[in-house]
Amino acid sequence: MKTYYLNVCLALLFTCISHRVFSLDIVDEDNPDKSDSIEAFKTAFIADFNRNFKFDGIVDDSCWKNLTPIKLVMHIPTFGIQPSENSEVFFCNDNEYVYIAGRFYDKETDKIVISTRMRDDIGPTEDQFVIIFDTFNDHENAVGFWTNAGGVKNDFTITRDGTEGEPWPFNLTWNTFWDAKSTRDEKGWYTEIRIPLSSLRFKEKDGTVEMGFICYRFIPRKFELNVFPNIPRNWGFWSFVKPSQAQKIQLSQVQSKKPFYITPFLTGGMIQDSQLDDAKTNYNMQNDPKLAAGLDVKYGITSNLTADLTLNTDFAQVESDNAQINLTRFSLFFPEKRLFFQERTSNFAFAFDDMNTLFYSRQIGLHDGELVPIIGGIRLVGREGRWDIGFLDMQTRNFKTKETDGTDLPTENFGVLRLRRQTFNSNSYIGGIATSRIGKDGTYNAAIGIDGMINVLGDDYLDIKLAQTFDEKYSNKVLSPKASRIWLNWERRSEKGIGYNLFYSQAGNKYEPDLGFEFRRNYYLLGADLKYNQIPGEKSKIRNHIVWLKGKLWKEIGTNVTQSSVTGLTYDLSLKTGYDLTVNLLHNFEQLKDTFYLSNDAVKAYVEPGRYNYNYASFHINSPYPQTKVIAADVSIGHFYDGNQFTFTLLSILKFGALLRMEPSFTYNRIHFAKRNQTFIGQIAGLSTLIMLSNKLSVSYRFEYSNISHGIVSNFRLRYNHKEGNDLYLVFNEGRNIELYRESPALNPIENRVILIKYTYTFLL
């Protein structure tokens, strides 16, 4: 435990308490170099704004008439030209809030799309308005606020300058307190947004706060996006959300606010599991009533450094993971969905190649898909000066697992300390990380790492990471190569013209980060990507197209034996109408030391040890996502080790107004090994349904069948969000077995069942 007290002390060294006052000026929209000149387009601090303002989404108050509107420029489909529809955006603030208003005129108001009523559900089918703040002005991270013509709210974070995330570079799980209202008339739609200063983390210097600012309007029927400032499309489709391209603004004469929220919650219900009796002759349902209470606290230590405390942590309302078919010999990577781990996740990021990372938050409170009870924890995130700070400490209870025949997991403590500092320039940093996992049974695992991201020149970046782990199983010495990890990456981030990415990675055979995620051990990787991106002119129907040459080579350390390699050619085509096509032609080499099993129980399909060269092609196509009916398809066909493969995935999104959305999906995998007369068939069929009865009440249901697990999983969730921070959840999850007699004794039709009610109430102090 001394490690954690030390971590706490180190983190708190960077805290300071300050109270300062600030206002806002906006830079001229025609200033493309985004210099520090803040002369034109001023919006004044208005101390008595609320007295002259009715928050109703109409944007007709006299206070708006005295402000100069921000004008937007078309970004998509044709960069830099006048938008097809006029937009006016206004921005001001007082001592309590930042206010943003928009008038979005439309010559065809009957075609304005509102296809959701549920908070956090706004997508690409909506007429929408989005504002983004790089609150720390670090050119890398940002928070966003997203509303539509129906006044629905969505908030998100952006990390690593918008270079990560699928299918978009947003973390949509993050939530904070703010308000939005929208209205419509025969001229268009209008919105007013009010964000408490306590919901924005920022850094202050000499009474002034500098932030980056981006806003954009999206018109789905035209696939048109209009943005401020005039950000070029040099970095691919998501160029318009890059914090490094934001317009600098200044805030002054506003008293900083520190959040203090207390959120108690109560959870009650029943958990049922099918368990084999002591005689091992029958499966019986075991009932486990649940009644639990807990507490979450958020406190602003300073205006830009926040502490979160959680006690008896419960994630009953979190959506379950979707089923996947694993055709690799490596573990599957699942994204984090739990809100407690979401805010400013970039402060903890320490990623290598693929999904390998030194810190993977799903290692806390989860074990082989089972929930491990969390006693509580504390998290500290924010910025002091040029330092980004991330500190986390969590304690779990001892736990008897189901999947490992009742093996006891000891109570464990998990700790992370992450520090980063801007250096050289605003797009570069150096930093370090320390993680630890200590069990009551004497087990321990620790890791340390140092890293640097250097903006060498223009769009060229050099990323360097060094890490080492320490475990009770080994007698690791400091700087031991066998327990170390190296990552070197030189990347040109521009997606206009020629781009490249050169990287080297290495991990020793004793490198084991128990708080991280690793696909392989004892290897080094050489890789290179070379691409050319062309953006045609205004008259072309093509938005852009890219040609990629890609190559990766994994070799075993010590023997220099090739483990794997992949080389390929990729072509991406995007049309201005929103259609996308991707074609991959790939050559793979794999050398297996052990038998690689694929099993559907009917046939034990496997790949024998040996050397394999094989080729295959993959294709992806999707209709425009802004449409109310979207289809996306993925196909792979060709060889698979010493066999043949055909995989097919179909996803459809069907929106029926703002009331109902359905997402049917189907995945089919067929692997055939003619030499051994073996066939593996994997199928997943799913249907997600969302019913939005109002902006406060929604019902979601997901049904999923998998022939791999021989089961059907269903998830039902009702959410009543009657006030920001106050939620009532009703959750019903069930897993059912099919083919009951595939085992002896016969399985129970119901594998597990969860019925829970959770209520949270937030006090704002």
Provide, rounded to the nearest whole percent, the portion of the chain with pLDDT above 90.
51
From residue 127, alpha-carbon distances to 88, 124, 184, 216 in Å are: 15, 8, 12, 11
In the predicted structure, residue 630 carries a pLDDT above the cut 70: yes
- State how far the Cα of 87 lies from the Cα of 85, in Å rounded to an integer: 7
Output the pLDDT for position 165.
58
In whole angstroms, how far apart are CA 19 and each of 23, 302, 384? 14, 8, 14
Return the SS3 of 574.
Answer: strand
Residue 704, pLDDT score: 95
Q: Give the CA diameter of the chain.
A: 82
In the predicted model, what is the mean pLDDT of residues 512-537? Answer: 92
* Structure tokens given for 359: 């810190």
pLDDT above 50: residue 711: yes
Is 197 domain-assigned? yes
* Predicted local distance difference test score (pLDDT) of residue 8: 36
Residue with more model confidence, 715 or 210: 715
Higher pLDDT, 441 or 172: 441
E strand residue ranges, 242-330: 247-252, 260-276, 283-302, 305-313
Res. 145 pLDDT band, cuts 50 70 90: very high
Average pLDDT over residues 503-527: 94
Measure CA 61 to chain center: 38
pLDDT digits (tens, 9 = 90+) for 41-100: 444 466 667 777 889 999 998 888 888 899 999 999 888 899 999 999 998 888 788 899
At residue 230, does pLDDT exceed 50? Answer: yes
CA–CA separation, 376 and 362 (whole Å):
15
Residues 529 and 477: their CA atoms lie apart, in Å, by 35
Domain, as residue range, for 105 = 19-252
Q: What is the pLDDT of residue 47?
A: 60
What's the mean pLDDT in 471-485?
86
Per-residue pLDDT averaged across 427-434, rounded? 92
| Number of structural domains found in the chain | 1
Kindly tell me the sign of the dihedral angle through the C-alpha atoms of 300, 301, 303, 307.
negative
Predicted local distance difference test score (pLDDT) of residue 30: 35
The helix/strand/coil state of 636 is: strand
> Which range among 3-17, 266-280, 679-693 shows the weakest confidence by mean pLDDT?
3-17
* pLDDT > 90? residue 382: no
Q: What is the pLDDT of residue 167?
A: 58
Selection from 335, 354, 328, 356 nearest residue 518 by Cα: 356
Across 273-289, average pLDDT: 88
Task: State yes or no: pLDDT of 17 exceeds 60.
Answer: no
Q: Containing H/E element for 63?
A: helix 62-65
Q: Which pLDDT score, from 0 to 100, does residue 635 have?
A: 97
Look at 50-54, 237-241, 521-525, 571-575 and tell me which has the smallest mean pLDDT. 50-54
Reported confidence tier of residue 16, pLDDT bands at 50, 70, 90 = very low
Residue 39 has pLDDT above 80, yes or no: no
- Reading phi first (left if > 0) and then psi (alpha if -120 to 50, else beta), residue 287 is in beta
- The rounded Cα 288 to chain-centroid distance in angstroms is 33
Please report where in the chains the tokens 């929209």 appear, as a residue: 29
Phi-psi region of 479 (alpha: psi -120 to 50; beta: other; left: phi over 0): left
Residue 26: pLDDT over 60:
no
What is the share, in percent, of the chain residues with pLDDT greater than 70? 90
Long-range contacts of 590-597 (CB under 8 A, 24+ apart): 590/563, 590/564, 590/641, 591/561, 591/562, 591/563, 591/564, 592/329, 596/329, 596/641
47: in domain = yes
| This prediction's pTM | 0.81
Q: How many residues does the chain have?
A: 765
Q: What pLDDT is attached to residue 217?
A: 97
Q: Which residue has the higher pLDDT, 706 or 321?
A: 706
What pLDDT shows up at residue 412?
94
> Where does the pLDDT of residue 6 fall: very low under 50, low under 70, confident under 90, or very high at 90 and above?
very low
**What does the CA dihedral 345, 472, 353, 462 come to, rounded to 10 degrees?**
80
Least confident residue range of 187-196, 344-353, 397-406, 521-530: 397-406
* Residue 726 in domain: no
Q: Tokens for 620? A: 């992806």
In a domain, 551, yes or no: no
Tell me phi and psi for residue 66, to 5 degrees: -90, 0
Contact 161/187 with Cβ under 8 angstroms?
no
Q: Identify whether the C-beta of residue 176 lies closer than 8 Å to the C-beta of residue 194.
A: no
Dihedral angle of Cα 420, 425, 428, 433, to the nearest 10 degrees: -20
Q: Does residue 363 belong to any structural domain of this protein?
A: no
Q: Would the pLDDT of 29 be above 50?
A: no
Gap between the Cα atoms of 88 and 634, Å rounded = 40
- With a cut of 70, say whether residue 12 has pLDDT above it: no
pLDDT at 706 over 70: yes
Q: What is the pLDDT of residue 400?
A: 79
Contacts of 69 (CB under 8 A, 6+ apart): 88, 89, 90, 103
pLDDT digits (tens, 9 = 90+) for 656-690: 888 899 999 999 999 999 998 899 999 999 999 99
Which pLDDT belongs to residue 403?
Answer: 57
What CATH number is associated with residue 161? 2.60.40.1190
What is the reported pLDDT for 148? 94
pLDDT computed for residue 590 by the predictor: 95
pLDDT reported for residue 180: 94
Residue 317 vs residue 722, higher pLDDT = 722
Cβ-based neighbours of 495, under 8 Å, separated by 6 or more: 233, 234, 235, 236, 239, 531, 533, 544, 546
C-alpha distances in Å from residue 326, one per residue of 332, 596, 682, 716: 7, 12, 9, 26
- Per-residue pLDDT for 164 more than 70? no
What is the model's pLDDT at position 596? 85
pLDDT at residue 743 above 70? yes
User: What would the mean pLDDT of 274-295 be, rounded to a whole number?
Assistant: 89
Residue 183 falls within a domain, yes or no?
A: yes
pLDDT surpasses 90 at 193: yes
Does the pLDDT at position 646 exceed 70?
A: yes
Mean pLDDT for the chain overall:
86
What sign has the CA pseudo-torsion 313, 141, 518, 735? Answer: positive
pLDDT band at 422 (very low <50, low <70, confident <90, very high): confident
What's residue 601's pLDDT? 60
Report whether 349 contacts 358 (CB < 8 A). Answer: no
The per-residue pLDDT for 452 is: 94
Calculate Rg over the CA atoms of the chain.
Answer: 27
Position 378, amino acid: I
103 belongs to a structural domain = yes
Going by C-alpha positions, the residue among 692, 753, 731 that lies closest to residue 123 is 692
pLDDT value, residue 96: 81
Amino acid 10: pLDDT: 34
Q: Which pLDDT tens digit goes with each residue over 207-218?
A: 677 888 999 999
Query: Residue 110, exposed/middle/buried by CB under 10 A (0-12, 13-18, 19+)?
Result: exposed
Residue 219, in any domain of the structure: yes
Q: What is the mean pLDDT of residues 178-207?
A: 87
How many CB atoms are closer than 10 A to CB 632? 17
**Rounded Cα gap, residues 356 and 418, in angstroms:** 17
